[in-house]
Amino acid sequence: MFNGRIIHNLNSAFRFRVSKAQGPYIWDDQGKKLIDFTSGWNVTNLGWNNPEVTDAIIAQAKKNTYVPMWTHDPIQEKYADYLASKLPKKLDVFSRETGGVNANVMAIKAARAFTGKKKIVGFSDTFHGSLYSVLEIGYKPEYLLSKSLFLSYQDYVQLKFPGVKSHDKNKESVLKKFINELEKVLQKKDVAAVVCEAGIVTGWGTTDVAPVGFLKSVRDLTRKYDALLILDEVGTGFSRCGKLFGLELENVVPDFVTFAKGMSNGALPIGTMATAKEIAESVYAKSQPQSTFGWNPVAVAAALKTLEIHNRDKVWRKAEKDGYYVMETLRNNLSNNSLVDDINGIGMEIGIQLKLDGKKISTKKIIDSVYEKGLHVCKSSETGIQLMPPLTIERKALDHGLEILVDTLNSFA
């Protein structure tokens, strides 16, 4: 857990010192070059240290590096206008945050203030950030701490995420059952908001995929029962799932959408909660949307350039195409592999579900082994590997990474 004085995240199996990172590659401090299939967990979608983003940062740093929260820098206005032009019309104002957890907390605070209700519906085994107020949404008791330390567990309703495997034949009935469960909860009319991702769980380390229709059903039911919808796009945003934003997958318009991670391509901390002006106006007095460092002008310059590149290069199209390619390649080459249960995902957010019962092999061992051969991947759970390559990765590097993965899995089977 510790590396010297640094407290590390335990999830992703191992840690190392990064000495250099460029495009789809990172180098450890032994000079080992690794093909990266993580993007730092959906962050460096345009490749590590994207040179255009770096140039934009330098240019803005020479102009102005800070504005206090009661003022704003013109680049913030420019970015807000540009981001609004890429989102559904209703999502037209933005809070200035430093990351994903803040954006989600802000959305929950605003949803409660707007509706006058307290309950938040979410899904077990999901992740929306590491502050109490959102950790509780997806909290699984065995993950950490003790349940008694949580503040307001009774205000959170956890439903099971209706994740299905790629080969499941009963997708329709899973969706139907889920709709019934959600409707039962919402019928009580004491729910302020439902918090979810766009049909896939990217956050806590799973790539469960919901049947098509999930997001639209959640939107329809929240509308029917006067609850709000908070769509967490911290992981799915910025072309990761084959669309610029995950909300386009089912053309829904949530009441809040939150972004961070890929927003500045990891160059500087930034996040936002987008909502309707009507909601923001009515809750502002009650919900105090403020952050001293939120939307630092230099971070905004990185975000502006990032969004310009996504838009200019239509990065989501390549993500969609490459995502199919990765899943097909893995499915074709691992179809007889006794360790592999399923390969599933949306766009370039892809999971390999392993079946390790009674086997001597562990996910960590597989990940360590591919690292030795020059590939960096994340462990998503005790039986899962999560693949999130930079979306700009060229085919040769992608193929080489896939070859390492396939060979390793086949050698252990």
Give the footprint of ligand PLP on this chain (CB under 6 A). 41, 99-101, 104, 127-129, 197, 202-203, 232, 234-235, 260
Closer residue to ligand PLP, CB minimum distance, 211 or 271: 271
Q: Which two tokens stand for residue 81?
A: 């206008």
> Shortest distance, CB of residue 382 to ligand PLP, whole angstroms?
18
Cβ atoms of 33 and 41 within 8 Å: the answer is no
Q: Which of 367, 209, 260 is nearest to 45 (CA)?
A: 260
315-to-169, 201, 401 alpha-carbon distances in Å: 32, 21, 20
The distance of closest approach from Cβ of residue 408 to ligand PLP in the complex, given in angstroms and rounded to an integer, is 26
Residue in the structure block whose two tokens are 């080992």: 32
* Least distance to ligand PLP, CB of residue 409, Å: 25
Based on CB atoms, which residue is closest to ligand PLP, 69 or 131? Answer: 131
Whichever of 127 and 316 has its CB closer to ligand PLP, that residue is 127
CB-nearer residue toward ligand PLP: 121 or 404: 121
For ligand PLP, the closer of residues 92 and 197 by Cβ is 197
Q: Which is nearer to ligand PLP, 102 or 408 (CB)?
A: 102
Kindly state the smallest distance separating residue 97's Cβ from ligand PLP, in Å: 9
* SS3 assignment, position 210: coil
266 CB-near residues (< 8 Å, 6+ apart) = 39, 40, 43, 44, 48
Sign of CA dihedral 13, 14, 20, 25: negative
Compute how many other C-beta atoms are within 10 angstroms of the C-beta atom of residue 84: 15
CB of 90 to ligand PLP, least distance (A): 22
- CB within 8 Å of 306: residues ≥ 6 apart: 46, 50, 53, 238, 262, 263, 264, 265, 267
CB of 123 to ligand PLP, least distance (A): 11
Nearest-angstrom CA–CA distance, 108 and 81: 24
